[in-house]
Every structure is written in structure tokens, then in C-alpha cells.
Amino acid sequence: MRPFTSTIALEEARRRLNAAIRPITRIERVPLDEAAGRVAAADVTSAIDVPPFARSAMDGYALIAADSAAATRSTPAQLRLLDRIYTGQMSTVTIARGTCAEIATGAPLPAGADAVIMVEETARNADGNTVDIFAPASAGQHIGRRGADIAGGDRVVAAGDRLSPSRVGAIAAIGQADAAVFARPRVAILSTGNEVVEPGRALAPGQIFDVNRFTLGAIVSAHGGVPEPHHAAQDTVAALVAALDACTTADLIVFSGGSSVGERDLVVDAIAARGEMIFHGIAVRPGKPTAFATIGPDATPFFGMPGNPTSCLSNAYILLVPFLRALARLPPHTPRTVRAPLGSRIASAVNRHQFYTVRLRDGVALPAFKGSGDITSLSQADGYIEIPADQSVVEQGASVLVTLF
Ligand code: AMP
Ligand code: MG
């Protein structure tokens, strides 16, 4: 047994993590179908005007506004119909005084016209060749002018922008089929422990199913990374060093288990063989036995998460998510919070910043934390409250801020 000689405060752990962030520099091109959620690696500038032609914004008639200046329902202006213009087709006519053309929404405005009047304010005469206009149109009315949306030379997306659905749409509007984006960080995920078995297989006595590989993989996918799952490693220094060596192409390595102080907790020795420890032990609960290191000649960042599933996942939310998003150049995650009265008293560990899971029922926050080893401490909770290191009790009825998962 090698007890923790000391732990560092959560804020200090965050400071050291921030200092180790090296945002991804690899760039790739992805088809627009796959671009949503990615981070633009370069400005995207339009070579064209959008729309590329002046177009009607309504179904109606293209006309010269001055022809309708005195029009009313009882004294309509009567215009001669020259053409019917559908979308995707250029009209060859020129609208002159006293004439008009039927036009569909999105169809190109014919030459000479300076306004569109909507069909509801018109009536086609029985002869089929003339149209009554019942209201005055103003010049420019219901016309989308060329380049009104995007002008040639406009920047539609800036480097570093997250490609939301609407930004993907802006790139499509200018006719680009793909986008240059930053690569998603590759995150090697590996569980350690002689007892850990892949779900779907049979458990031998003394074994448990691997939880952490899947919770970590889900978190990594949700926050801009590509999880690269590895087979669980046995509890020997040699196995862990070999496991580290198998992860060297990753941008980030996340192990779970073996980070504590039991005699088989050998992650510390493996780090000593291959890298440099940045911290080991944080004054948080759950999740105290968490290590952070850099590995190999590239100083690949390494998280050594606790094996207990709730400790592992809690620290994944609190420490891994912000780190991964910064690597991926994504904006910080801002979970929703709600205020609620606490349903029953919570005693908190002294000198450890506690993340305590709660369930929300009828507007009340009910304690949901069972134990660090119980995944249901999280899976049956809606969020967590934070209890600072210097606070030992939160009384029933106190107003607490719940951060929702
Ligand atoms: P460790 O951090 O390796 O000392 O493990 C602490 C506890 O978490 C032990 O009860 C382990 O069996 C359990 N554990 C470790 N890794 C996992 C895992 N990947 N999935 C589920 N439980 C685990
Ligand atoms: Mg273990």
C-alpha cells in the first residue's frame, strides 16, 4: 500500500489541466452531410451571390409598381399578362408599362418589373389575358434582390466556428460540397483490472462487467472526440506499460482503475516508466484517486480515472469533458442548472469538494448518491449539487443549485 501523501484542490487540478491543453491542429475535409457539430478550420468565403438572381418572394404578379399606384378593390388597375414564370426558368419578356407576368415564389424576376403583388390582391379576368390589381404595390415589394442573403466575397463561416445546422446550410447555399474542419481528437479508452470482463461474456467467480469503457466512450463521443476502445489490461506493470505503448497514436489516453493506493494499483508505476505525472489525487468526492500525466515523447495527455464507476464518470464530467472540448476546439459545455429545495439533509466529506447526485421530484432535490462504486448513483439521478470543501452539511430545505446531466 502506498497512501496518498497529499491531494490537490479541484481548482489546482483544473489549472494544471488547462496548462496541458494543446488544441488539435490536424485538419480534414468532410462532406457537408458529416459536417454538423465539427469545428471549421478555415474561413469559408462565398464566390457567388445568393440568391444568384433577383427573385420573387411570393406567388403573384411581377409588375411596375407605378402602374398600381391608384389601384383599389373598386377601381382596380388592369394589366396585360405577358408570361407565366416558374422556378428554374428565365423569362424572355420585358415588363413595360401596363403589363405584368405571373410569377411563382423563387422564380427569377423578369426584366422591367420592380415589384411583385401577391395573388390574393389580384384577379385574373375571364379573357385570361388581363389581370386586375386591387392594391398599390411599392417599388421593391416582395423581391429578393440578387445577393440579398450572401454577397460574393462575404464570409459565411469563420475559422473556429462550430458548424451548427444553419452554418452547414450557409456553406450549402454557396455551393460548397465539403468543409475543412479540425480533426476530432482520438481518445484511447482502456479499463484495467484482472476482474474486468466485456459485457456479453460469461462472468467467472470474482469478475465484474466493464462499465467504465462504455461510460467514457459515450462521454467522449458526446463531446467531440472519437473513442478508440482497447481491451482491458491485467494488473501488472508490464501489461499496463504495453497498454500505454499501444495508445501512442491517440491524442488523449484515458485509463480507468488501478489509480488508487492498493498494492495492485500500478498505473502510477506505468506512468513513471513512460511519462511524467502532473498530479495524482484530487480533494474531490467521489473521484479522489484521479491521476493526470503526459506520456511518451509527444507528451500525450493521460487521465488515470478511478475504477469505481461513479467516481470515474463523475470526474469524466467534471475534468475530462472540459479538457476534451478544448482539445477539439469546441466551446465550453454549459449544462443547464435549476434551483430546488433539498429534500433531506446531506453530510459531506470535510476538506473534499463533493459532487452529490440528486433526483428532481415535484420540484424537490432528493439525494440520489448511493456509493462511488454504484453506477446507479448516477444513472438514477437527474443532476448533481456541489458542496465546497469547507462545508460539511447541507440542511434539508436549503435552496441548492442542481447542474443537470
Ligand atoms: P480500482 O480503481 O482499480 O481499485 O477499482 C475500484 C473498484 O472499481 C473495484 O471494485 C473494481 O472492481 C471496480 N472497477 C474497476 N474498473 C472497473 C470497470 N471498468 N467497470 C466497472 N467496475 C470497475
Ligand atoms: Mg483495479
pLDDT tens-digit profile of 217-239? 999 999 999 999 999 999 999 99
Pocket of ligand 1 (CB under 6 A): 191, 193, 195-196, 208, 210-213, 256-260, 262, 265, 306-309, 373
Q: Please, what is the end-to-end C-alpha distance for the chain in angstroms?
A: 35
pLDDT tens-digit profile of 273-315? 999 999 999 999 999 999 999 999 999 999 999 999 999 999 9
> What three-state secondary structure class fits 293?
strand
pLDDT tens-digit profile of 172-214? 999 999 999 999 999 999 999 999 999 999 999 999 999 999 9
Please check whether residue 258 is in contact with residue 193, taking contact to mean a CB–CB distance below 8 angstroms.
yes
Please check whether residue 182 is in contact with residue 27, taking contact to mean a CB–CB distance below 8 angstroms.
yes
> What three-state secondary structure class fits 219?
helix
Residue 350 pLDDT: 87
Would you say the pTM of this structure is higher than 0.85? Answer: yes
- Counting ligand 1 atoms within 8 A of each CB, the residue from 308, 314, 370, 377 with the most, and so the one to mutate, is 308
Residues near 261 by beta carbon (within 8 Å), at least 6 away in sequence: 1, 2, 3, 4, 289
Cα of 303 vs centre of ligand 2, distance in Å, is 15
Displacement of CA 333 from its chain's centroid (Å): 8
pLDDT tens-digit profile of 10-56? 999 999 999 999 999 999 999 999 999 999 999 999 999 999 999 99
CA distance 85 to 74: 28
Confidence of residue 103 (pLDDT cuts 50, 70, 90): very high
* Dihedral pair phi/psi, residue 240, rounded to 5°: -70, -40
Residue 1 has pLDDT above 60, yes or no: no
Question: Of all atoms in ligand 1, which is nearest to the CA of residue 258?
Answer: 3
CA distance 382 to 395: 20
Q: Which domains does the chain have, with CATH numbers?
A: 10-26+183-327 (3.40.980.10), 27-50+148-182 (3.90.105.10), 55-144 (2.170.190.11), 337-404 (2.40.340.10)
Residue 43 pLDDT: 98
| Average pLDDT over the chain, rounded to an integer | 96
Cα of 195 vs centre of ligand 2, distance in Å, is 8
